[in-house]
Structure 1
Amino acid sequence: MTETRTPARAVIMDHDGSLDDLLSLLLLTRYDVDLQGVAVTPADCLLAPALSVTHRILDLADLPHVQVAPGSLSGPHPFPMAWRTDALRVEALPVLNRFPPRERTSGPVLPAHEQLVKWIEQAATPLTILVTGPLTNLAWCLDKHPWLEQAIGEIVFMGGAFDVEGNVEEPGHDGSAEWNVYCDPKAAQRVFATQIPITLFPLDVTNQVPVTDEFVRAFGAHYGNPASDLAGSLLAMTFGTVETVGSPYCCWDSLATSYLAAPELFTFDQVRCTVVVDGASEGRTVRADDGRVVRCAITVKQEDFYRHCLQLLT
């Protein structure tokens, strides 16, 4: 009897170039998924180095054919510039400069919001959209082409905060919002207004997996493995966050990404919620009886997550 293989999940990633976004992309390339494209949003990054690093990670994973689309849309609340320079340093890491960049074989691409439409149109099966930055590109697509809603099987989004403090510290804001939502609250509201299933990873669960000294140094035992060297370097570059901003760097985006390969790491609940789009709580995600239902990650098996990353990246 011939064994029938289940088709790999078709995935598009939209990230915004921070250290954890780049770790998420690296992790995603190790999964049994059909990665159909990567959009880079100029939110928590400078676009040029973030694009360069994205290409180099795909080269490292032997995926030079995967298209990378540069974002040209941005939300009304730019991320702090001090956070956006990480990709400049990552681009210079020796592990990403062992070889010249490979020739792109995928042809020209459109700006990310327009290319996202093309990717969704061309997909043979409903797509999973993994968003580890703001929802700006996806909201534009749904505004301009509402029928695309039927072609998206699931949105996996790292964003929001319900029962924990947010991470926005801006003048006039009450600190209740999470940055990926706060960057473009109306985009989040637009996406939440759809019927597309959303699996949400808010700060409530991502705060449960801080980047620990033990986790980072464990990659050292695998020195010489390019994926491990890059993962360890990205994680090591997060050190100093507590000293400078007063809170730990967490595996925000990489935790959401791990769901695609290891959903058993999580417990979930159905949460009705909405997005505040103005005032001192702008960008806050709040429970609401008349809100839309999202599948919200509640808890994670912390040590199993760390082991998952180490096994896949070493």
Structure 2
Amino acid sequence: MIMDHDGSLDDLLSLLLLSRYRSVDLLGVAITPADCLIAPAVATTRRILDLTGREHVVAAAGTLTGPNPFPMAWRTDALRVAALPVLNRHTPLTTPTPDSSLPAHQQLADWLRAADRPVTILATGPLTNLAWCLEHHTTLIDAIEELVFMGGAFDVPGNVDEPGHDGSAEWNVYWDPAGAAKVFDSPIPITVFPLDVTNTAPVTDAFVRSFGTHYGNPVSDLAGSLLALSFGTLESTGIEYCCWDSLTTSYLAQPDLFSFDEVRCDIVTTGPSQGRTVACAAGRPVRRAVSADPAGFYQHCVQTLT
């Protein structure tokens, strides 16, 4: 498996979860400079990998950008996470792994070329790096078994509130609509977790405080801290903070938490609806999560991270 995330609180919680799945052979982690500042996001990724015994896994910093930047107020979360005491117990790190000197899109291509069996890609951020790979190395399609993608919105409003936009898009698609469309136009099998499902797992007070009873365990301390840092999002942005990415990640260990259907869809790339995922008969088929078990997800997180 390869993970491509974009450094938000929930992306980092997803990496923490993924790192605890011992059945997962994690080949590398790419970081897209979307919902983050790239330097602290890469540093935090490195420390999470080391904390969870994945010190051999290489991280790669992204350099490609999308046309619709995330609000700067959202992108600073990784700065605060990088300063958490639980991630700074050892300075310098005792077993540092040199991170890739290649930009993430080129490193992603190298990981796929070197894989000795088909790879699952978990994308909890925009699809820009993968789109570049498909454009410049078309044979890499055969190296990908499945794309698991947190993105899109079908029958619920999007979470984009920007001037000139109609609010129908989800941010991971909106950041780079053309890149997402390129991936969706490919024959790669895609399992998508849209806002329709991921909005059903909000960060609740009870969920966050459940990690407090395990205080002193570095992994659970970090999980609880990441979740606690999301408090105030509703009050400051009008958007309830949900476990969008981490719920998607849990599918890799507990697929029975979800039900799915198949839908044909397309992505709008221009105009006031750019970034919108639209169900249409002429679109490509994707496997779509249509329901989840939030209580089972919360329990899974606590059990996995404590």
Distance 1:300 1:139 in 2: 28
Name the residue aligned to 2:46. 55
1:73 corresponds, among 54, 64, 67, to 64
Distance 2:251 2:100 in 1: 31
Q: Kindly state the Cα deviation for residue 104 of structure 1 after the two structures are TM-superposed.
A: 3.2
Letter in 1 for 2:7: G
Contact 1:71/1:112 (<8 A) preserved? yes
In structure 1, the residue corresponding to 2:33 is in which secondary structure?
coil
1:142 corresponds, among 112, 117, 134, to 134
**Alignment RMSD, CA only?**
0.9
In structure 2, the residue corresponding to 1:286 is in which secondary structure?
strand
- The alignment of Structure 1 onto Structure 2 pairs a total of residues equal to 304
- Structure 2: gaps of 5 or more residues: none
Letter in 1 for 2:208: V
Label 1:105 to 1:233 Cα distance change in 2 as closer, same or farther (>3 A). closer
Distance 1:254 1:105 in 2: 25
Q: Kindly state the Cα deviation for residue 108 of structure 1 after the two structures are TM-superposed.
A: 4.3
Post-superposition Cα deviations, 1:85-120, rounded to whole Å, max 9, x if no partner, equal: 000000010100111224434574311000000000
Letter in 2 for 1:68: A
Post-superposition Cα deviations, 1:162-190, rounded to whole Å, max 9, x if no partner, equal: 00000001100000000000000000100
In structure 2, the residue corresponding to 1:156 is in which secondary structure?
strand
Letter in 1 for 2:84: L
The reply to whether residue 131 of structure 1 matches residue 107 of structure 2 is no
Name the residue aligned to 1:17. 7
The reply to whether residue 99 of structure 1 matches residue 106 of structure 2 is no
1:110 corresponds, among 102, 107, 110, to 102
Distance 1:211 1:203 in 2: 14
The TM-score with structure 2 as length reference comes to: 0.98
Post-superposition Cα deviations, 1:188-243, rounded to whole Å, max 9, x if no partner, equal: 10000111110000000000000000000000000000110000000000001111
The reply to whether residue 222 of structure 1 matches residue 214 of structure 2 is yes
Distance 2:34 2:98 in 1: 25
Distance 1:107 1:257 in 2: 23
1:246 corresponds, among 221, 231, 238, to 238
Post-superposition Cα deviations, 1:105-143, rounded to whole Å, max 9, x if no partner, equal: 457431100000000001011000000100000000000
Letter in 1 for 2:62: G
In structure 2, the residue corresponding to 1:155 is in which secondary structure?
strand
Letter in 2 for 1:296: R
Post-superposition Cα deviations, 1:53-97, rounded to whole Å, max 9, x if no partner, equal: 000000101111101001000111110000000000000101001
Distance 1:247 1:25 in 2: 23
Post-superposition Cα deviations, 1:11-64, rounded to whole Å, max 9, x if no partner, equal: 100000000000000000010200000001100000000000000000101111
Name the residue aligned to 1:283. 275
The reply to whether residue 161 of structure 1 matches residue 125 of structure 2 is no
Contact 2:202/2:241 (<8 A) preserved? yes
- Structure 1: gaps of 5 or more residues: 1-10
Name the residue aligned to 2:20. 30
In structure 1, the residue corresponding to 2:73 is in which secondary structure?
helix
The reply to whether residue 295 of structure 1 matches residue 282 of structure 2 is no
In structure 2, the residue corresponding to 1:83 is in which secondary structure?
helix
Name the residue aligned to 1:5. none
The reply to whether residue 89 of structure 1 matches residue 60 of structure 2 is no
Post-superposition Cα deviations, 1:247-275, rounded to whole Å, max 9, x if no partner, equal: 21000000111111010000001010000
Letter in 2 for 1:186: A
Distance 1:102 1:150 in 2: 38
Among all aligned residue pairs of Structure 1 and Structure 2, give the percentage whose two residues are the same amino acid.
67
Name the residue aligned to 2:228. 236
The reply to whether residue 274 of structure 1 matches residue 266 of structure 2 is yes
In structure 1, the residue corresponding to 2:227 is in which secondary structure?
helix
Distance 1:51 1:203 in 2: 26
The TM-score with structure 1 as length reference comes to: 0.95
1:206 corresponds, among 198, 209, 216, to 198
Contact 1:66/1:106 (<8 A) preserved? no
Q: Tell me which stretches of 4 or more aligned residues in structure 1 moved more than 6 Å.
A: none
Name the residue aligned to 1:3. none
1:257 corresponds, among 243, 249, 264, to 249
